[in-house]
Amino acid sequence: MTRISVTVDGAEAVDEVEPRTLLVQYLREQRGRTGTPVGCDTSNCGACTVLVDGRAVKSCALLAVQADGAEVTTIQGLANGELHPVQKAFHERHALQCGYCTPGMIMAAVDLLNEVPDPDERQVREGLEGNLCRCTGYQNIVAAVRDAAAELRGAS
Amino acid sequence: MTATRDREVGTARRRKEDAHLITGQTTWTDNIQLPGTVHAALLRSPMAHARIRVDASPARHEPGVVAAYSGADLADELAGLPSAWQVTPDWVAPEHKPLATDEARYVGDAIAVVVADTRAHAVDALDAIEVEYEPLPVVLDMEQAMADGAPLVHQDAGTNVCFRYSDTFGDVDAAFADAPVRVRRRFVQQRLVPCAMEPRAVLVAPVPATGEYTVWSATQIPHFVRLFLALLSGVPESRIRVIAPDVGGGFGSKLDIYAEELLAFVLAGKLGRPVKWTETRSEAFQATIHGRDQIQDLELAADADGRIRGLRVDLLADMGAYLQLLTPAIPLLGRAMFPGIYKMDAYRFGCTGVFTDKTPTDAYRGAGRPEATFAIERMLDELAAELSVDPLEMRRRNWIGHDEFPYDQIAGLTYDSGNYEAATARATELFDYDGMRAEQARRRETQDPVQLGIGISTYTEMCGLAPSRWLGDRGYAGGGWEAATVRILPTGKVEAVVGTSPHGQGHVTTFSQLVADTLGVPFDDVEVIHGDTAAAPAGLDTYGSRSLAVGGVAVWRAAQRVLGKAKTLAAHLLEVSEDDLEFSGGSFAVRGTPGATKSIQEVAFAAFAAHSMPDGFEPTLSADFVLEPDDFSFPHGTHLCAAEVDTETGRVTIRSYVAVDDVGTVVNPMIVEGQVHGGLAQGIAQALHEVARYDADGNLITGTMVDYTPPSAVDLPAFTLDRTETPSTTNPLGVKGVGEAGTIASTPAVVNAVVDALRPFGVRDVPMPCTPEHVWRALSEARGGA
Ligand code: FES
Ligand code: FES
């Protein structure tokens, strides 16, 4: 067991973890952050994407111990009293169906829009390449991310 | 008090379902954490066929382990898994134990289980299980499996043939006898992995003192799960509550009774504590059903002008190693769909189901219909090429005219309504068909290394599997009805309890819209309850685009009943006859007497209080309806795909995709569009990206998302969608069903486009998926090269 201290969705936590525990397991099982789901065991699907110190990371590709000292934001910590513009746009644009990929998509999109505030369609598609969705065909996801981009630009 | 309100049906209402999904407040089965839960992990055969001797006992001493069993240990306690569709009287249905006892028959076949305090401990302890494998010969190819002396998947069966089925309509021999044109083709429907994003999961919590069980399962079919757990375990269904909480996609793959569900149920009873099992993605590839996998031999006979006389279809359908719930029925569901939207004099259909040492197949989005549509739509293009007629014109010469509906098609179905001309006209306009053809001609002339192909698919499908009698006549053990209850609560809010069980389709929103319109209540006042057999005890769940066309109609009928009851009470309260009442905007008004009104909410409270009622009136405003549908509904549409094919690299890029679908009356256009988008993605994935490949030993070599390559956002184009609306006449709402349309239509549209691009080079087919390698090979073979 190793002791780590992590800020998860704004709350500081000190926990004992097995060295082999993945960050996503830690978040789900020890921190109750079950909003972040697991879709694969090869770090390909992106369902488990969270922000670690502001950058999108597949939380199944990181050990919990690697997050020691970091600030982790999951889908459950993204809404700040009101929905984040990306969340709002996903709802408005019908960018989700079953919703299983959605937390990861939203977190990846948030990071993408930090980097590229005014992405064209191609840039959105490339930016979300690591996140698979089996339901939507991506069209509405792309539209939602571009809507959110416009909203975020307007707000800043 | 009532507010006047707009009609809900036809409005793009934002989904009620989204709020918890976009904020992560979800209840996926794997999220549920109950105290005292133990975790199951399965040992799976690494060999495609082997005699096994399994000793699970060493695992019992590993850290955290609570129990460990081989198949033999549990042989008496575990019943065989069911297949519910006996397609022929003499089918072969081998026993299918949740844990193999003496032989493993595909890579991934479960052979032992460990239960431990954590999932990690359970997985670790699998290593301690001792297994002797005695390899047996493997058979993977359907044609080889049927040859004399082939290794047998099931020794006892004495054959690898599961069933042979055939049907003839009209005089096929006469149709072919002196036909001026004949076209023969063989198509391969490659094996696909459904790949829902949420892996399967099940959690069973027993109450030993009462013998009750609560089962959470990532399933499309909680009602069937309850029924089969009861049948297979002997526990009465009244003691089994099955909940399908948030379910992360299914596409048919969660329409099954799986080994792991029964195993978790039996182990929970045995151990007296909650048992949870969650699939890894690798397991999902190996042990969740696969789809498609047919070899299709077709022949068309036609007149010199291309009018179709007859069609012959011969299928080989791969069952995999065992029959799952509907395995043998899937290819037969396509039986009536091979003729598509075309008129013909004669049709013969034959199908042989074959066992191989591979993962069982079963329903995958469209289930039998995509395979059939692909074949006929490819054949129409081949016929057109044979006669040098534009493929669109070839379809016009053969399709059913809009003035000919209802139309009794050759295979015995009656298409209730449709307008292929209108959908096609709209699609060709959006696509700029003539402009595309002109560009194609230019590229051909200039010998552009990147050729342009135009693919057409004018499809129909059958939605809402029913009526029950029809299913019964074909050997299905279940029915095709659906149940709903609608009740107005004392506060005036409404509950609609439905037997369908959504997993992403937006039923809560759609059904709310139907109920809101019928009862004149606000959309937000309607609550839809589903997916829990305690709250919604009757139902046949969600698959085959039946939820709106069957379930939605049941909801609407139940709401109508409630309205009828409300009217009776309103007339009583207003002291007039029912005939004097008018209902609009959620309020009953006495004709000709301004001010004499009762809102439906007031009536609901009066029904609850029950102080003053007509004689014989049952208190509360609640009604059930179990709908037995009259027939299928038949959505249709025209899809056009323009594909750029690089003749040097074999790379295919979709340049433009237009889909005009006719799904009858549209309740929520936004949801309908979303369903089509998702369907297109899966159909295009079959055409261009996906295939489940096995090596010669039967190892699934596309066993991860890296190898299987489900498309990401960069792999798919933006789609152009539109609709025509020809209401169905088989149900009072005029709705048809949309979940499978995109998948069914798009695969042939894309492959037709790829072949069209390459036809000048002599290419007549490209095997799916049309990867650069397959395209390049088809080109070089046509050019006579290596
Ligand atoms: S679960 Fe992490 S990428 Fe799939
Ligand atoms: S919404 Fe279902 S996987 Fe994306």
Domains defined for chain A, CATH in brackets: 2-73 (3.10.20.30), 85-153 (1.10.150.120)
Q: How far is the CA of B251 from the centre of ligand 2 (A)?
A: 11
The structure tokens listed for B188 are: 């391969």
Ligand 2 contact, A128 CB (< 6 A): no
- A34: which chain B residues are within 8 Å (Cβ-Cβ)? 24, 26, 28, 30-31
Ligand 2 atom 4: residue of nearest CA: A133
Task: Write out chain A residues lying below 8 Å of B197, CB-based.
Answer: 39, 45, 47, 98, 100-101, 132-135
Spatial neighbors of B200 by CB under 8 A, at least 6 apart, are B217, B218, B219, B253, B254, B258, B260, B278, B279, B284, B288
ipTM for the predicted complex: 0.98
Per-residue model confidence (pLDDT) at position A156? 62
Query: Taking CA B150 as the corner, what is the angle to CA B148 and CA B152, rounded to the nearest 5 degrees?
Result: 125
Q: What digits encode the pLDDT tens for the residues B159-201?
A: 999 999 999 999 999 999 999 999 999 999 999 999 999 999 9
**Tens digit of pLDDT for each residue in A31-56?**
999 999 999 999 999 999 999 999 99
pLDDT given at position B185:
98
pLDDT at site B785: 60
Residues present in chain A in total: 156
Chain A contact probe: residue of B18, B20, B22, B28 with most A CBs at under 10 A: B22
For B772: left if phi > 0, alpha if psi spans -120 to 50, otherwise beta; the answer is alpha
| Residue B311: both structure tokens together | 């069609």
Topology alike, domains B18-23+481-627 and B369-382+390-461+634-782: yes
- CA of A140: which chain B residue's CA is closest? B674
Q: Is B681 on the interface with A (CB under 8 A)?
A: yes
Note whether A134 contacts B247, CB cutoff 8 Å.
no
The secondary structure of residue B550, as a DSSP letter, is: I
Query: Residue B120: what residue type?
Result: A
Interatomic CA distance for residues B210 and B207, integer angstroms: 6
Spell out the CATH class of B18-23+481-627.
Answer: alpha beta
Cβ contacts of B280 within 8 Å, gap of 6 or more:
A41, B199
Ligand 1 pocket mutation, candidates A58, A128, A131, criterion most atoms within 8 A of CB: A58
Ligand 1 centroid vs B28 CA: distance in angstroms? 15
Domain boundaries, given as residue ranges, for chain B: 18-23+481-627, 32-136+197-249+254-287, 369-382+390-461+634-782
Q: Which residues of A are less than 8 Å from B690 in CB distance?
A: none
**CB atoms closer than 10 angstroms to residue B621:** 26
With a cut of 70, which residues of chain B have pLDDT below it?
Answer: 1-5, 785-786
Q: Output the CATH code of domain B369-382+390-461+634-782.
A: 3.30.365.10
CATH of B32-136+197-249+254-287 given 3.30.200.20, 1.10.10.10, 3.90.1150.10, 3.90.1170.50: 3.90.1170.50
Inform me whether the C-beta atom of residue B35 falls under 8 Å from chain A C-beta atoms: no
Chain A residues in contact with B705 (beta carbon < 8 A)? 40, 42, 44-45, 132
Of the partner residues B14, B281, B503, the one whose CB lies closest to the CB of residue A39: B281
The answer to whether the CB atoms of A94 and B504 lie below 8 A apart is no
Does B197 sit in the ligand 2 pocket, CB within 6 Å? Answer: yes
By the 8 A CB rule, do B296 and B371 touch?
A: yes
CA B113 from chain center: how many Å?
A: 30
Query: pLDDT band at residue A155, thresholds of 50, 70 and 90?
Result: confident
